[in-house]
Amino acid sequence: MIVVGGGAAGFTAALAARECGASVVLLEKGEQVGGTTRKAGVWIWVPNNPFLRGGGVEDPKRPALQYMARLARPHVYDPASPTCGLPLEEYRLIETFYDEAWHAVELLTRMGALQPHHRPDIPDYYAELPEDERPYGRVIMPQPRSRPTGGTGLEFVEALEGAARACGIPIHTSCRALKLIEEDGRVVGVAADERGRERTFRARGGVVFASGGFTHNRELMLQSFAFPLLHGAAAPSNEGDFVSIASRVGARLANMGCAWMAPIQLEQALTPEQARSNASITEIHGDSAIIVNRDGRRVVNEKAMYNDLTQAFFAWDGVYGGYPNARLFLIYDDATARLCGDDATGNPILPVDAEAPHILSAPTFSDLAAALDRRLQALGAAAAGVRLAPDFAVTLERTVERFNEYALAGADPEFHRGEKAIERFFSGPTRPGNDRNPTMHPFEPAGPYHAMILAPGTLDTKGGPMIDAGARIVGSDGHAIPGLFGAGNCVASPSGQAYWAGGATVGLAITYGRIAGLGAASLAGDH
Ligand SMILES: Cc1cc2nc3c(=O)[nH]c(=O)nc-3n(C[C@H](O)[C@H](O)[C@H](O)COP(=O)(O)OP(=O)(O)OC[C@H]3O[C@@H](n4cnc5c(N)ncnc54)[C@H](O)[C@@H]3O)c2cc1C
């Protein structure tokens, strides 16, 4: 069988098929394998995992599915319905995820690609919801880093690649799948471009696509999202190739307007790939740090988890005639920079002495405002039409005064900052004096102050061809397209609009990757 894409989903599919005896070939468009998985923190969300059960804690199925369904499609969720209000096929997808996720972890462990490390201390992203009967302990990670450089994602990819090579799976890099080969109504192979040469790969078993999302296909991003979402930290080779490839064989598309979202440091996102890798913001450290809009007002709970935080950029304003929050501004004081500045992935606050032209610094808020507005002007179209309102600096000063009062009182009546478990988990170091709410501390009365421009971004998109619970691609007639499977961010995610918890994306990728690999391998015996 053939696997297209060398990330978490693709390698898991390849290893699952190989373990049950199929011969497998893996095609990867990039010069190296890994895709967006290479950048991941590799939290893996695994409901009903045996670490929980071993600790004497149950993670019963019905409430877990209710939690997932409520967040996936809040507007149709119905706790009394047998499918929680979801269409039956969507309910089956989350049910299968609950049933099968641990088997994917077991597979990767057996194949030497993962040594699971349980994190009982990590809360789900909506741990406070009544449906979340098991709010802690569903996250699994690879064993902590074995070396100081690199990163968890890189180590995970190396382990996946090592396991694949160890069991004899050939890996073709710089090999881009272009189209499917069909015979008698069944997908039997892939035509690809390998280093400029056209090649055909044929499969007796099936073909599994695991080619990531479409973050770097600007046209598809514009067509899919009505709101201003154009940037992201996904692997640059994730250009949504599977959307057009699968459409040509009649696949049904879904969730095209959904993404795993995170704010992005705009100017970092516009730089070449290497610098861009740290552009995604997944945890804003710092207690004297706020996010304001072009008016100088706070518009969001700054500690909200990244996918929720990103929603703030999309507010439509009919008087403004557009999306005034398409660009927002992270403002923080020097104490925050000194305390929280580090190079950790996901935290935008860098050490004070870091060379970072995208961070603007000034002694007063009015000087900072002037610098920000000049930068917006210089950015041209990348500023998405946003310029600072004339009274931005005055409003910002009032906003900071009000924030300081909230910090002293330990409560944020406007945005409820710091009230959720996950916000406190992601908040970073804190100072004495704000024991009532460790996520807030009054700003220092004198500068320097610092700022950067934020834009909405993706970790990657999660819309594409629909799958059924067997990871088979569903055609426009509602039937599976014979021979074609998919998993990970290249297919319509079973999570719908939800980001249930850290690790939900890799959790789904490996669960459906394994199912796709087994399905494709089982076809090899059919003829
Ligand atoms: C900074 C950051 C941190 C993250 N942390 C986490 C985390 O801790 N936990 C978590 O669950 N998720 C995390 N994510 C998200 C997670 O990394 C991805 O959702 C996941 O790795 C996607 O896996 P995938 O296999 O679907 O795709 P990818 O890993 O993107 O792999 C797809 C591969 O397909 C290849 N490809 C594309 N088109 C073709 C083609 N035509 N032919 C051949 N190959 C092709 C690509 O080059 C790529 O290598 C994070 C993301 C980022 C950016």
pLDDT tens digits, 485-516: 999 999 999 999 999 999 999 999 999 999 99
Query: Which atom of ligand 1 lies closest to the CA of 232?
Result: 53
Centre of ligand 1 to C-alpha 238, Å, is: 8
Residue of the CA atom closest to atom 13 of ligand 1: 40
In a domain, 56, yes or no: yes
Query: Which atom of ligand 1 lies closest to the CA of 42?
Result: 8
Q: Can you give the residue range of the structural domain that contains 174?
A: 6-215+462-526
Whether residues 497 and 433 share a domain: the answer is no
Q: Percentages helix, strand, coil for the chain, rounded to the nearest 5? A: 35, 20, 45
DSSP bridge partners of 187: 182
In a domain, 248, yes or no: no
Average of per-residue pLDDT values in the chain: 95
Looking at the structure of the chain, the number of domains it has is: 2
| Contacts for 30 with CB less than 8 Å, ≥ 6 apart | 6, 173, 174, 235, 236, 237
Structure tokens at 65: 């599915």
DSSP 8-state class, residue 311: G
In a domain, 57, yes or no: yes
Averaged pLDDT, 27-38 = 97
Residue of the CA atom closest to atom 20 of ligand 1: 37
pLDDT for residue 121 is more than 50: yes
| Cα 485 off chain centre by | 22
Q: How confident is residue 56, by pLDDT bands cut at 50, 70 and 90?
A: confident
Centre of ligand 1 to C-alpha 10, Å, is: 10
- In this prediction, residue 433 carries a pLDDT of 74
Averaged pLDDT, 209-228 = 97
Whether residues 435 and 359 share a domain: the answer is yes
Final residue of a domain: which of 399, 428, 458?
A: 458
- Are 47 and 101 in contact, with CB atoms under 8 Å apart? yes
In a domain, 433, yes or no: yes
Averaged pLDDT, 39-51 = 95
Percent of the chain exceeding pLDDT 70 equals: 97
- In this prediction, residue 76 carries a pLDDT of 98
Whether residues 274 and 377 share a domain: the answer is yes
Centre of ligand 1 to C-alpha 507, Å, is: 12
Whether residues 377 and 417 share a domain: the answer is yes
In a domain, 426, yes or no: yes
DSSP 8-state class, residue 470: T
Q: How confident is residue 352, by pLDDT bands cut at 50, 70 and 90?
A: confident
- In this prediction, residue 275 carries a pLDDT of 53
- Are 333 and 362 in contact, with CB atoms under 8 Å apart? no
In a domain, 339, yes or no: yes
In whole angstroms, what is the distance from residue 148 CA to residue 502 CA? 23
Whether residues 305 and 288 share a domain: the answer is yes
- Cis upstream peptide for 465 (omega within 30°): no
Centre of ligand 1 to C-alpha 38, Å, is: 7
Q: Which residues line ligand 1 (CB under 6 A)?
A: 4-10, 27-30, 34-37, 39-43, 176-177, 210-212, 233, 235, 237-238, 241, 260, 280, 345, 459-460, 488-489, 502-506, 509
State which of 2, 33, 37, 491 you would mutate to test the pocket of ligand 1, scoring each by most atoms of that ligand within 8 A of its C-beta: 37
Averaged pLDDT, 121-149 = 88
pLDDT tens digits, 223-259: 999 999 999 999 999 999 999 999 999 999 999 999 9
pLDDT tens digits, 353-391: 888 899 999 999 999 999 999 999 999 999 999 999 999
Whether residues 412 and 499 share a domain: the answer is no
Whether residues 197 and 279 share a domain: the answer is no
Whether residues 501 and 520 share a domain: the answer is yes
Whether residues 152 and 18 share a domain: the answer is yes
Looking at residue 293, which CATH number applies to its domain?
3.90.700.10
Measured CA to CA in angstroms, residue 460 lies from 51, 275, 342 at distances of 29, 17, 24
Final residue of a domain: which of 458, 474, 506?
A: 458
Q: How confident is residue 274, by pLDDT bands cut at 50, 70 and 90?
A: low
Averaged pLDDT, 15-33 = 97
State which of 2, 12, 29, 36 you would mutate to test the pocket of ligand 1, scoring each by most atoms of that ligand within 8 A of its C-beta: 36
Averaged pLDDT, 191-198 = 98
Averaged pLDDT, 178-202 = 97
Whether residues 275 and 376 share a domain: the answer is yes
In whole angstroms, what is the distance from residue 92 CA to residue 76 CA? 16
Q: How confident is residue 144, by pLDDT bands cut at 50, 70 and 90?
A: confident
Whether residues 399 and 500 share a domain: the answer is no
- In this prediction, residue 516 carries a pLDDT of 98
| Cα 502 off chain centre by | 9
Percent of the chain exceeding pLDDT 90 equals: 88
Q: Which position has the higher pLDDT, 479 or 56?
A: 479
Query: Which atom of ligand 1 lies closest to the CA of 27?
Result: 43
pLDDT for residue 527 is more than 60: no
Q: Is 130 helix (H, G, I), strand (E, B) or coil?
A: coil
Centre of ligand 1 to C-alpha 7, Å, is: 5
Whether residues 452 and 471 share a domain: the answer is no
| Cα 198 off chain centre by | 33
- In this prediction, residue 432 carries a pLDDT of 80
In a domain, 390, yes or no: yes
Measured CA to CA in angstroms, residue 306 lies from 95, 362, 430 at distances of 26, 27, 20
pLDDT tens digits, 414-427: 999 999 999 999 88
Looking at residue 117, which CATH number applies to its domain?
3.50.50.60
Final residue of a domain: which of 429, 458, 487?
A: 458
In a domain, 163, yes or no: yes
- In this prediction, residue 273 carries a pLDDT of 63
pTM over 0.85: yes
Query: Which atom of ligand 1 lies closest to the CA of 277?
Result: 1
Q: Is 154 helix (H, G, I), strand (E, B) or coil?
A: helix
For 293-364, where are the alpha helices, taking DSSP H only? 306-310, 334-340
pLDDT for residue 91 is more than 70: yes
State which of 2, 174, 264, 459 you would mutate to test the pocket of ligand 1, scoring each by most atoms of that ligand within 8 A of its C-beta: 459
Residue of the CA atom closest to atom 50 of ligand 1: 40
